[in-house]
């Protein structure tokens, strides 16, 4: 099972393997966000080493003319060691991305990091407009307010449902309520004028989004449909062929095993989701 997970959902262990996967996805008409797996580092040297991988990626993206950007986590950049350390490190990566004409997505982790992630994204956006954005999770009650806050500043949002285990005091416990909130939020993002990412593998939600943009006359190049590497590849390719902007999140690195085990342990539904996609072409 572990070997199949690694080959299906992770692009490889090295930067070179990730770049090769990026080129394959680009050749199918889709863009990429490269994600060097890792989180919850406890040693400063590990955080700085993780950042160096991103600097290598940004150089390679520019040198190779790849249609790609990067995605990182604050716990990977040392926020649990010292918030100032993470800000220094992520500032360096974002400055590099801005100079290279690229983009950094600061991933959202569990609710303990929501405020810090949003605040850092805002500070970096003020310094490097258009070079940084973040992720909001539809299962949190607070997300509608957070979305308005970020959209008012022109900050790009990746909207996802949420993959962490959260208490009912903070998050919708019922899937139907999460889906309903997701649909409401994606429509708000679609009409905002800020290019945002609609991140879902749920074909019903994708179809609802496409109906909405058609009805509202929203341009196809004003938003992205975002999905994970190896999941619903059929849907990814069909949307790209139909002329929609599709971005594939491509994770790689030696930390793939703890990453997957942590996600599976936190939410049993994640295991069923991955198992279903192992059977898809």
Residue 33 CB neighbours (<10 A): 25
Tokens in use for 221? 């190049």
- DSSP state at residue 191: T
Residue 59 bears catalytic tag: no
In angstroms, the first-to-last Cα distance of the chain is: 17
Residue 177 bears catalytic tag: no
- DSSP state at residue 82: -
* Cα 40 to Cα 257: distance, rounded to the nearest angstrom: 14
Residue written as token pair 């509608």: 144
* Cα 197 to Cα 116: distance, rounded to the nearest angstrom: 21
- Among 35, 105, 156, 158, the active-site one is 158
- Among 35, 80, 107, 146, the active-site one is 107
Residues with a known catalytic role: 107, 158
């Amino acid at each position: 099972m572990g070997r199949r997970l690694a080959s299906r959902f992770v692009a490889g262990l090295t930067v070179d393997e990730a770049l090769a996967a990026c080129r394959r996805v680009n050749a199918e008409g889709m863009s990429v966000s490269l994600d060097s797996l890792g989180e919850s580092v406890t040693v400063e040297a590990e955080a700085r080493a993780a950042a160096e991988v991103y600097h290598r990626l940004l150089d390679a993206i520019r040198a190779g003319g790849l249609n790609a950007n990067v995605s990182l986590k604050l716990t990977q950049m040392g926020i649990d060691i010292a918030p100032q350390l993470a800000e220094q490190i992520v500032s360096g990566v974002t400055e590099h991305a801005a100079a290279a004409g690229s983009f950094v997505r600061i991933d959202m982790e569990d609710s303990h990091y929501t405020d810090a992630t949003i605040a850092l994204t805002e500070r970096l956006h003020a310094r490097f407009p258009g070079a940084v954005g973040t992720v909001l999770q539809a299962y949190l009650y607070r997300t509608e307010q957070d979305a308005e806050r970020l959209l008012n500043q022109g900050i790009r949002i990746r909207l996802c449902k949420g993959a962490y285990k959260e208490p009912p005091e903070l998050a919708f416990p019922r899937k139907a309520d999460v889906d309903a909130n997701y649909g409401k939020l994606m429509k708000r993002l679609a009409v905002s004028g800020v290019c945002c990412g609609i991140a879902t593998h749920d074909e019903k939600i994708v179809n609802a989004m496409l109906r909405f943009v058609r009805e509202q006359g929203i341009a196809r190049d004003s938003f992205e449909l975002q999905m994970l590497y190896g999941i619903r590849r059929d849907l990814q390719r069909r949307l790209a062929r139909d002329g929609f902007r599709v971005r594939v999140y491509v994770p790689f690195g030696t930390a793939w095993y703890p990453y997957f085990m942590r996600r599976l342990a936190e939410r049993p539904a994640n295991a069923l989701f991955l198992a279903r996609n192992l059977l898809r072409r």
